[in-house]
């Protein structure tokens, strides 16, 4: 998900845009035909152990915004230790009342959208039965035996104690009946008017993590900074909605039929995914295109949009196609045959937009300010589609290591944007203003109000959403960019591709990424990862001082008695050369090689490297030169993206504030842009 930093469009402006679109009565469109393609692009065997397989049936009451659902879950103990209980996420209970962990941690607000006080959301497990392993017959009712480890106020996780431990390799078949009440959407899932974006809506089992034989459950209560983590499997979902409603969902459409009561039923099938989300809305239109992926058939890309957002729909389509083609080349071929991009109605853009699910994402950014060249809409689509690699395929734990998908994805998004739209102005190329995402993120990180935090912290362990966003998205991106520019783009790209191929279809951890990068870049990077990911401060480089004097041989009194001699500037005039010293400081926690460039009045340049891995806080360079020093520049090639550049350039004859002013044009630009796109 794209939280906090970029997507936050000015709510009032969006609201103003959203007024006045009368779509008239909903009409029944032609019945969509099944996709007629395998759920994995080109078919083929399972790509994962498929530990968690779901059959879901859902009937949407579009007026009450409720879902009557059933679920059959077949879960296999893929570990090497017995399992004594089964925990399930019941995410919708986050929206049940103000006492839940989610509502307390979010204060009932997400990306500037407030929770409705008249539209709570919840999920209730009406029935839970286990099928007999031999006969398949359903056993006694177990719903009353569910425990809630989150305490009396939080029912976002329920736990089923097992009468007999489930041994390694054994599976269990559970049958749920449940009812959802969708909230008016303020955080990803729910309804807005007739629009229904339905995510995290069914009982979803946790993940066994840890070393073989020592596995434990990962299934935490829902916190407002936390996203999701689940095992791969298959999903078969049968969705019944009013016949007027257009439906989009994870996977491929395998059947569609008219149903009694003026309804329609759509059946979807998905393989080797770890979540299932869907959308139902009576006013959506669709445009489609194809992304070419070299290892097989193309990917059909679909954008769902309402008529008033048509111009944006084409921009989202182009961005989605480009992302699939680029990321398939950079990292791993997109493995599913369809990618669906939903552009929520403008009044749900902030609340439902900017979220990723397997093969289906929601986008955002359609505002009056997003003229061609102001590529916020494109960027949101690139980011969300990009998540189909960084979390969809490389299914890291978003609760414990959110940076591993959000931040790594951000770095990858920057590459995609630069290639699709041109490096200098990929994000912004309008009225003479140009910026790419890396530069924008770096500039935003200069905000003195930001609270430095270690990147590698759990999503729920940050002071607030801004601090979480800064570390998770921006600092991670800047750290990877620093490594990329230090070790070379080609080498870094190869290392990331190896990481993707090694960990696709699995659950990589941060340690796995560090190891892959160390191996790929051919060097032990402990010295980098430690301070950058587990410490605060990073690099804090500045030109401390410079001192340049006209060069002459020593003057003064030399010798004793009759041999005493006074040397003045007459005897030893200035030679025309200069004697200088330059001191550069680093007060950050990270110590790494730093390029320093000295420029001189005759146009020449002297470069040297301060190899700061000795952990000195300062470095002094003495030299003589025939021409006068004019500039001291730290990191002249802008490799060290982790540091702010404002104190990196010192003009010797200028006033000290000149460099700060020179750098501040970007701050001004950023500030202006952020008034559009949020803090």
Q: Return the range that interacts with Zn ion (CB under 5 A); candidates 37-45, 370-378, 403-411, 508-516.
A: 403-411
Closest CB 468 distance from Zn ion, rounded Å: 12
8 A C-beta contact, residue 16 and residue 349: no
Closest CB 664 distance from Zn ion, rounded Å: 29
Bridge partner residues of 236 (DSSP): 55, 269
Binding flags for Zn ion, 406-425, as an x/- string (CB under 5 A): x-------------------
Distance between CA atoms of residues 668 and 528, nearest Å:
32
User: Using CB under 5 A, which residues numbered 193 to 212 contact Zn ion?
Assistant: none
Nearer Cβ to Zn ion (7/158):
7
Binding flags for Zn ion, 291-310, as an x/- string (CB under 5 A): --------------------
Q: Return the range that interacts with Zn ion (CB under 5 A); candidates 2-10, 97-105, 418-426, 559-567.
A: 2-10
**With CB under 5 A, what is the number of residues at the site for Zn ion?**
3
Nearer Cβ to Zn ion (191/473):
473
At 334 the three-state DSSP class reads: coil
Binding flags for Zn ion, 89-118, as an x/- string (CB under 5 A): ------------------------------
Q: Return the range that interacts with Zn ion (CB under 5 A); candidates 113-121, 401-409, 437-445, 557-565.
A: 401-409
Distance between CA atoms of residues 352 and 451, nearest Å:
28
The string of DSSP letters for 369-403 reads T--TTB-HHHHHHHHHHHTTTTTTTB---TTT-TH
Distances (CA, A) of 625 to 577, 599, 600, 605: 6, 11, 9, 10
Helix or strand (DSSP H, E) at 73: strand 66-76
Nearer Cβ to Zn ion (1/324):
1
Torsion of CA 424, 428, 433, 434, to 10 degrees: -10
Count CA within 13 A, CB hemisphere, residue 518.
13
Nearer Cβ to Zn ion (62/385):
385
Nearest CA to 289 out of 278, 300, 281 is that of 300
8 A C-beta contact, residue 89 and residue 203: yes
Distance between CA atoms of residues 539 and 638, nearest Å:
13
The pair of three-digit structure tokens given for residue 140, joined into one six-digit string = 């006694």
Closest CB 6 distance from Zn ion, rounded Å: 10
8 A C-beta contact, residue 321 and residue 291: yes
φ and ψ at residue 660, rounded to 5 degrees: -60, -40
At 461 the three-state DSSP class reads: helix
Nearer Cβ to Zn ion (2/93):
2
Nearer Cβ to Zn ion (67/500):
500
Q: Return the range that interacts with Zn ion (CB under 5 A); candidates 405-413, 452-460, 598-606, 656-664.
A: 405-413
- Chain centroid to Cα 564, Å, comes to 75
User: Can residue 2 be called a binding residue for Zn ion (CB under 5 A)?
Assistant: yes
Closest CB 313 distance from Zn ion, rounded Å: 21
Nearer Cβ to Zn ion (79/469):
469
Nearer Cβ to Zn ion (2/77):
2
> Which residues in 565-576 are b (16+ Cβ under 10 Å) and which e?
eeeeeeeeeeee
User: Using CB under 5 A, which residues numbered 597 to 626 contact Zn ion?
Assistant: none
Closest CB 314 distance from Zn ion, rounded Å: 23
Longest distance between any two alpha carbons in the chain, whole Å: 122
Distance between CA atoms of residues 353 and 337, nearest Å:
23
- Residues contacting 29, CB < 8 A, separation 6+: 244, 246
8 A C-beta contact, residue 83 and residue 162: yes
Nearer Cβ to Zn ion (331/487):
331
Closest CB 539 distance from Zn ion, rounded Å: 26
Distance between CA atoms of residues 632 and 645, nearest Å:
13
The pair of three-digit structure tokens given for residue 376, joined into one six-digit string = 């916020």
Nearest CA to 56 out of 174, 196, 202, 163 is that of 202
Distance between CA atoms of residues 68 and 379, nearest Å:
36
User: Can residue 445 be called a binding residue for Zn ion (CB under 5 A)?
Assistant: no
Closest CB 459 distance from Zn ion, rounded Å: 12
Closest CB 404 distance from Zn ion, rounded Å: 12
Q: Return the range that interacts with Zn ion (CB under 5 A); candidates 1-9, 142-150, 315-323, 512-520.
A: 1-9
Nearer Cβ to Zn ion (188/208):
188
φ and ψ at residue 293, rounded to 5 degrees: -125, 130
User: Using CB under 5 A, which residues numbered 324 to 353 contact Zn ion?
Assistant: none
Q: Return the range that interacts with Zn ion (CB under 5 A); candidates 44-52, 260-268, 402-410, 640-648.
A: 402-410
Closest CB 409 distance from Zn ion, rounded Å: 6
Bridge partner residues of 624 (DSSP): 579
Closest CB 131 distance from Zn ion, rounded Å: 37
φ and ψ at residue 519, rounded to 5 degrees: -65, -45
Closest CB 406 distance from Zn ion, rounded Å: 5
Closest CB 227 distance from Zn ion, rounded Å: 8
Closest CB 630 distance from Zn ion, rounded Å: 44
Closest CB 387 distance from Zn ion, rounded Å: 6
Nearer Cβ to Zn ion (4/500):
4
User: Using CB under 5 A, which residues numbered 361 to 400 contact Zn ion?
Assistant: none
Nearer Cβ to Zn ion (325/406):
406
Nearer Cβ to Zn ion (194/406):
406
Nearest CA to 370 out of 414, 319, 311, 422 is that of 311
Q: Which residue is nearest to Zn ion (CB)?
A: 1
Parallel/antiparallel/unpaired status of strands 216-218 and 207-209: antiparallel
Among the listed residues 1, 241, 420, 539, the single contact to Zn ion using CB under 5 A: 1
Nearer Cβ to Zn ion (1/313):
1
Q: Could you list the residues that contact Zn ion (CB under 5 A)?
A: 1-2, 406
């Amino acid at each position: 998900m794209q939280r906090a930093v970029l997507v936050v469009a000015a709510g009032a402006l969006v609201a103003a845009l959203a007024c006045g679109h009368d779509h008239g009565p909903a009409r029944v469109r032609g019945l969509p035909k099944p996709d007629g393609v395998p759920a994995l692009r080109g078919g083929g065997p399972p790509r994962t152990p498929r530990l968690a397989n779901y059959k879901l049936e859902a009937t949407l009451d579009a007026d009450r915004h409720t879902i009557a659902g059933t679920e059959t879950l077949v879960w296999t103990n893929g570990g090497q230790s017995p399992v004594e209980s089964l925990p399930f996420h019941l995410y919708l209970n986050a929206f049940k009342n103000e006492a839940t962990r989610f509502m307390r941690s979010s204060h009932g607000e997400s990306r500037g959208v407030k929770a409705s006080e008249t539209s709570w959301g919840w999920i209730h497990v009406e029935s839970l039965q286990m099928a007999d392993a031999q006969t398949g017959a359903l056993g006694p009712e177990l719903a009353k035996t569910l425990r809630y480890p989150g305490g009396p106020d939080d029912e976002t996780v329920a736990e089923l104690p097992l009468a007999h431990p489930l041994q390694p390799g054994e599976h269990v078949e559970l049958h749920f009946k449940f009812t959802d009440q969708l909230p008016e959407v303020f955080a990803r899932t729910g309804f807005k008017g007739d629009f229904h974006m339905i995510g995290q809506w069914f009982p979803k089992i946790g993940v066994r993590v840890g070393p073989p034989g020592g596995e434990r459950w990962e299934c935490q209560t829902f916190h407002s900074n936390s996203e999701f983590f689940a095992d791969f499997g298959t999903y078969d979902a049968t969705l019944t909605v009013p016949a007027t409603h257009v439906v989009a969902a994870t996977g491929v459409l395998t059947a569609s039929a008219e149903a009694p009561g003026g309804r329609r039923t759509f059946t979807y099938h998905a393989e080797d995914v770890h979540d299932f989300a869907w959308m139902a809305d009576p006013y959506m239109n669709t445009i489609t295109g194809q992304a070419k992926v070299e290892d097989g058939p193309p990917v059909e890309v679909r954008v769902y949009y309402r008529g008033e957002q048509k111009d944006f729909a084409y921009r989202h389509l182009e961005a989605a196609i480009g992302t699939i083609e680029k990321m398939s080349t950079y990292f791993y071929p997109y493995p599913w045959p369809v990618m669906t991009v939903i552009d929520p109605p403008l009044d749900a853009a902030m609340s439902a937009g900017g979220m990723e699910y397997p093969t289906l994402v929601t986008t955002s950014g359609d505002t009056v300010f997003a003229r061609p060249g102001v590529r916020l809409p494109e960027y949101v689509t690139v980011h969300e589609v990009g998540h189909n690699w960084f979390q969809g395929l490389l299914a890291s734990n978003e609760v414990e290591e959110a940076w591993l998908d959000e931040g790594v994805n951000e770095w990858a998004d920057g590459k995609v944007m630069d290639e699709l739209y041109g490096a200098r102005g990929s994000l912004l190329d309008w009225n003479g203003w140009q910026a790419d995402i890396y530069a924008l993120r770096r500039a935003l990180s200069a905000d003195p109000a930001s609270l430095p935090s270690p990147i590698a912290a759990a999503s729920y362990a940050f002071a607030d959403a801004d601090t979480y966003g800064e570390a998770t998205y921006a600092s991670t991106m800047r750290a990877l960019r620093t490594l990329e520019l230090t070790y070379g783009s080609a080498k870094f790209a190869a290392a990331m591709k190896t990481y993707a191929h090694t960990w696709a279809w699995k659950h990589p951890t941060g340690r796995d990424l560090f190891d892959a990068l160390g191996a790929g870049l051919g060097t032990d990077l402990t010295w980098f990862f430690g301070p950058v990911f587990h410490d605060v401060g990073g690099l804090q480089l500045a030109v401390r001082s410079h001192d340049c004097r006209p060069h002459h041989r020593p003057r003064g009194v030399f010798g004793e008695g009759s041999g005493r001699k006074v040397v003045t500037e007459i005897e030893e005039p200035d030679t025309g050369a200069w004697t200088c010293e330059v001191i550069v400081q680093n007060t950050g926690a990270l110590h790494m090689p730093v390029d320093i460039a000295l420029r001189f009045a005759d146009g020449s340049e002297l470069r040297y490297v301060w190899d700061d891995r000795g952990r000195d806080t300062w470095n002094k360079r003495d030299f003589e030169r025939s021409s006068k020093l004019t500039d001291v520049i730290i990191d002249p090639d802008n490799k060290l993206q982790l540091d702010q550049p404002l104190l990196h350039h010192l003009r010797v004859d200028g006033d000290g504030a000149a460099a700060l002013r020179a750098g501040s044009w970007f701050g001004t630009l950023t500030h202006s842009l952020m008034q559009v796109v949020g803090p």
